[in-house]
Chains A and B, each alone.
Chain A
Amino acid sequence: MRLTEGSAGARVLAFGGYQPAKVVTNDDLAATVDTNDEWIRSRVGIASRRIAGPDETVADMAVAAGGKALAASGLSPRDIDLVIVATCTPEVQIPNTAATVARRLGIAAPGAYDMNAACAGFCYALASAADAVRTGTAGNVLVIGSEKLSQWIDWTDRSTCIIFADGAGAAVVGPADDPAEAGIGPVVWGSAGDMADKIYIKDRDSFIFQEGQAVFRWATTALHPVAKQACERAGVEPAELAAFVPHQANLRIVEAIARKLGAPQALVADDIVTAGNTSSASIPLALSRMLERGEIPSGAPVLLLGFGAGICYAGQVITVP
């Protein structure tokens, strides 16, 4: 039996992001729940977030972000042979979002699967995409994080309705035959199943629940060792990082982990300010916008760190296109 042969490494060829048109400000929320702009900004860091239209789906947003990434990659749809969508909020159980996205983007007959690791989803999916390319299972992979959390929110619950939002982000992953070009480092992933009761959606008729303080304590203590391990596995010193792009759960969590990382020179993503917490979309959405604004030089090393319900987490260093 033959084993596949792939490439020495894998790298991200392009990113793309999509935010729904509707902007919801803190003042908008203060009109219906007991909260205010100042409290939200200081506690969570959000100034505004985007909410998808009532008929706008996870697949719609995935197609938008995926299409942008594909266009920016210089590849054509026929070059993609695997589509992975990280999502925990699909409206449709079957068929999966990935097969739908592939059809709508004109990608013929790729492997297609959805995966759910909540807010760690993009980093998990990216790791799997990189593995597929390196082992030769796939030539080029379209990886998308897309979430419509708004359909799971209790809009009278001020502990959640101020945080979660909608959006999508995507990356095209291709081969890097020269190890020097290799741009996706080894993933460090894991889970803390004992924290399962801290973030959950119980069933299809329930809202999202989060025990914020417990999650804050866990995230600000358990994750910086994972971050450092991801750097170590990639052979990159934290002090060499151009940017740190963790899941945009809460700006206070982001800043607390950044303080412990030992990368004072790294640009710390704060996309949550105008995006909210978009779960698996947050990392690729943040990256697509940071790159659009020219904030990270091409080829520079960036640490990604996803974490969310499970609790599941995953981090890896990548070089940006």
Chain B
Amino acid sequence: MAMTDQEILTGLGEIIDEVAGVPADQVTPDKTFVDDLDIDSLSMVEIAVAAQDKFGVEIPDDQLKDLKTVQDVIDYVRKSSVSA
């Protein structure tokens, strides 16, 4: 399933809005989760779980901690979808 970065970003925005209450339009690729979006590690787990449902890509806890920005997650999803 080849998704564009924009499609992944839109999907992520929906997830982050639902999990963390951050409006989707504030979710831009350059933003960091912790400092810019005020999203902690527990919310990251919820986001990872929702991303698995939405994109079919699993993000285990030990990979999750390296994903600091929205772009990091987009790259991860894109790479994982291609190799799936």
Contact = CB atoms under 8 A, between A and B. Distances in A.
Contact of B49 (A214, A217, A252): A217
B48 to A, nearest CB: 8
Contacts of B61: 213-214, 217
B40 A220 contact: no
B45 A213 contact: yes
Chain A binding surface SS class? helix
Interface in B16-68: 18, 40-42, 45-46, 48-49, 61
Contacts of B45: 213, 216-217, 220
Q: How large is the interface on B (under 10, 10 to 19, 20 to 34, 35 or more residues)?
A: under 10
- For chain B, what secondary structure do more than half of its interface residues adopt (helix, strand, loop), or is it mixed? helix
A42 B48 CA distance: 19
B67 to A, nearest CB: 14
A72 interface: no
A38 B41 CA distance: 15
A265 interface: no
Contacts of B41: 213
Contacts of A256: 46
Interface of B: 18, 40-42, 45-46, 48-49, 61
16 contacts: A43-B40, A43-B42, A213-B42, A213-B45, A213-B61, A216-B42, A217-B48, A217-B49, A217-B61, A220-B45, A220-B46, A220-B49, A221-B49, A252-B42, A256-B46, A259-B18
